[in-house]
Chain A
Amino acid sequence: MSNTDTTQPVLELRSVSKTYTVKQGMFGKPKPLKAINDVSISLKRGEVLGLVGESGCGKSTLAKILLGLEEPTKGEVRVDGEVIGATDRRTLARRIQPIFQDPYSSLNPRKSIEDIISLPLRVHSIGDSNTQDKAVREILDIVGLPQRVMRTYPSQMSGGQRQRVAIARALIMKPEIVICDEPTSALDVSVQSQILNLLNDLRAEFNLTYLFISHDLAVVEHLATRVAVMYLGRIVEESSVGGLFDTSGHPYTQALLKSVLTPEAGKGVPDTELGMEYPNPIAPPSGCHFHPRCPMAMTHCATVPPRPVPTPEGHVECHLFDTENGHDTGTPLMREGV
């Protein structure tokens, strides 16, 4: 990683927020739902940022913003230092491409594999049909598919093969950044490892930058160089993969790590000590959003939102680490029952 440290970030999010208005019931008052709340991320070329969090934490919304499928309510997204506005989706498309979770829904069943993979080239009028054909053959080779699949249809392929097609489509325009949204969670174990290996090889070969969204922390630990933990629209901790998995700070990160079920016989199921359910994002808890589930919550956690505290390799948002705010950190808060 040392060789990339000097370059400017390839992808940068500056205070990005996305607020939806949600109507509850027919006559309910519309309420704001802060899907993403003031998030800043900076990614250098060749890095893999693992984004983890429970469903509803905003990771998919973040992916949509990066792909230009949603506009941020506030803040800006920069690619190579350039601000990406809402208008130039086509420029963004050449730099950022997605790989989706479900290879059964991400390929149009009515189109041949050749049509699916060459679509980006045709949309952006890159080359004539001859060079496009050549490019498709090349990329098939790169993702490890035989050329004879060109004239087949998605329904004729296995899940792993389909995911390779999706990867081929994402890479054919040579993007700099690939957003991988749970790319292996719909695949069988033996196929998952093939796809993870492929993603790793491609990153090394093309110096790609990944945003890797996953709920599987073991996979994130394996593939990522940096990890960001999201909770209710905020990134509560961000660090290098070593910094996070070896010496994690935030109680939520610790709970997530505890919940990973490694295949070790006899260890039993861990107690995450998280207690109650994930809160409703329309009515997030006051103060630190995590305090009702936090085993280490203190009195002022319920009232004062925590600030981002810099750590050696990133930041963490937790009062436990904020030594300068003058609060008494010694009073534990009584937790609500389960």
Chain B
Amino acid sequence: MSDATTNMTSDPMLEAIVGPTPGQMLRKRIFGHQGLMIGVVVLGILVLVAIFAPLLAPHDPYAQSLMARMKPPVFLGGTWEHPLGTDHLGRDYLSRLIYGARVSLMIGVVAATISGVIGTAMGVAAGYFGGKVDAVVTYLINVRLAMPVVLVALAVVAILGGSLQVVIVVLGLLLWDRFAVVMRASTLQVRGREYVAAAKAVGCSTPRILMSEIMPNIANNLIVVMTLEMAHAILLEAALSFLGLGVQPPTPSWGLMVSEGKNMMLFEPWMVLIPGAVLFVLVLAINLMGDGLRDVTAPENRS
């Protein structure tokens, strides 16, 4: 046998490390995905607006001025003093819109995080342990799915009284079902992989396996569901506020603004259209981002 074939250690050394790292590939896919980029940019702008609201808002969103009620926006013949006009109490509409972004984003993020923690814990436990745990979780998911979210939220808020905190907690405790379903399914898929068996054979504890072997491989699904539930929570808050059972006046909330504007809708449609439009843009941006994240993280899963 010739020398070159017997030298065992040399050949893999010669092998090139093929391809870029998973991180590099992910970055390339992210920047190549149009929908995702649009979603991220729009959402990023809205987040910046919410953070820097005190600097950006031209007026105090709570300051009433009965002398300047119902001023139209600039493009309908208003003045630059109030670029988007004023509401029925003379409060600057643009400032209320800017502060309203804080409420919407906070509700979206916090409610989705609460339900994410609950749903992921339940879903991962059900998927990994199976058996009785799975049976109990599946039962709870079914119970939860049988409850109409809006109706339950309305009832609870009606009893406890509406406030930002109550709305966040109620939504957080209600929206975990999709997390649980998706995380259970993804865990079931990952649980059977040989690297999980290898970790067990190494002597890893169960929490360690869950955290370092299972979680990183289902995190992409978690992020996707997270964005969807954020959008869901934001819309539900708007709906509850519109019905008067969500965020209470005078807190600036987009749902509340639509509600307050609805009496004037026939004469001053912009009062409804402006907060409605920003709500639409925010939810669209989040959904674009969610869809994009699903697209860019999926191929890695398949390989």
Contact = CB atoms under 8 A, between A and B. Distances in A.
A119 B198 CA distance: 10
Contacts of A90: 203
A47 B193 CA distance: 29
A155 B198 contact: no
Given A109-B22, A155-B303, A156-B19, A194 B11 contact: yes
Given A108-B217, A123-B208, A152-B21, A160 B197 contact: no
Contacts of B212: 111
B197 A69 contact: yes
B17 A110 contact: no
25 contacts: A69-B201, A98-B197, A100-B194, A100-B198, A105-B194, A105-B195, A108-B213, A109-B300, A110-B22, A119-B202, A120-B203, A123-B203, A124-B203, A146-B12, A146-B13, A149-B17, A152-B17, A152-B21, A155-B22, A156-B20, A156-B22, A158-B15, A158-B18, A194-B11, A197-B8
Interface in A114-160: 119-120, 123-124, 141, 144-146, 148-149, 152-153, 155-158, 160
A201 interface: yes
Interface string A280-310: 0000000000000000000000000000000
Contacts of B208: 123
B58 to A, nearest CB: 47
Contacts of B303: 109, 155
A164 B8 CA distance: 12
A98 B201 contact: yes
Given A161-B15, A194-B8, A155 B213 contact: no
Contacts of B200: 67-69, 89
A107 B21 contact: no
B118 interface: no
Interface of B: 8-13, 15, 17-22, 25, 193-195, 197-204, 208, 212-213, 216-217, 300, 303
A225 B203 CA distance: 29
B197 A156 contact: no
A93 B201 contact: yes
Nearest to A152: B17
A144 B204 CA distance: 27
A92 B204 CA distance: 12
B195 A107 contact: yes
A160 B12 contact: yes
A155 B12 CA distance: 16
Interface string A148-192: 110011011110110010100100000000000000000000000
Given A69-B201, A144-B12, A156 B21 contact: yes
B167 to A, nearest CB: 36
Given A148-B17, A155-B300, A97 B202 contact: yes
Nearest to B21: A153
A105 B191 CA distance: 11
A198 B8 contact: yes
A169 B198 contact: yes
A74 interface: no
Interface in A52-95: 64, 67-69, 89-90, 92-94
A194 B142 CA distance: 53
A259 B152 CA distance: 67
A97 B12 contact: no
A69 B196 CA distance: 11
Interface in A181-221: 194, 197-198, 201
Nearest to A149: B17
Contacts of A272: none
A218 to B, nearest CB: 19
A92 B8 CA distance: 31
A49 B13 CA distance: 31
A106 interface: yes
A322 interface: no
Sorted nearest first, the 4 A-B pairs with minimum C-beta distance are A93-B203, A106-B194, A144-B9, A110-B216
A47 B119 CA distance: 49
Given A105-B193, A119-B202, A123-B203, 9 more contacts: A106-B193, A108-B195, A110-B22, A111-B212, A153-B21, A155-B19, A155-B303, A164-B12, A197-B8
A145 B195 CA distance: 20
B85 to A, nearest CB: 51
A160 B13 CA distance: 12
A144 B13 contact: yes
A102 B39 CA distance: 38
A97 B201 contact: yes
B257 to A, nearest CB: 43
A197 B5 CA distance: 11
A152 B16 CA distance: 12
B197 A100 contact: yes
Among A119, A161, A201, which residue has the most Cβ atoms of chain B within 10 A?
A119
B204 A119 contact: yes
Nearest to B9: A144
A109 B25 CA distance: 13
Nearest to A151: B21
B129 to A, nearest CB: 15
A71 to B, nearest CB: 13
A67 B303 CA distance: 27
Contact of B217 (A96, A102, A110): A110
Contacts of A94: 203
A109 B199 CA distance: 13
Contacts of B17: 148-149, 152, 156-157
A119 B201 CA distance: 11
B93 to A, nearest CB: 47
A91 to B, nearest CB: 8
B202 A93 contact: yes
Contacts of A119: 199, 202, 204
A93 B204 CA distance: 9
Contacts of A106: 193-195, 197-198
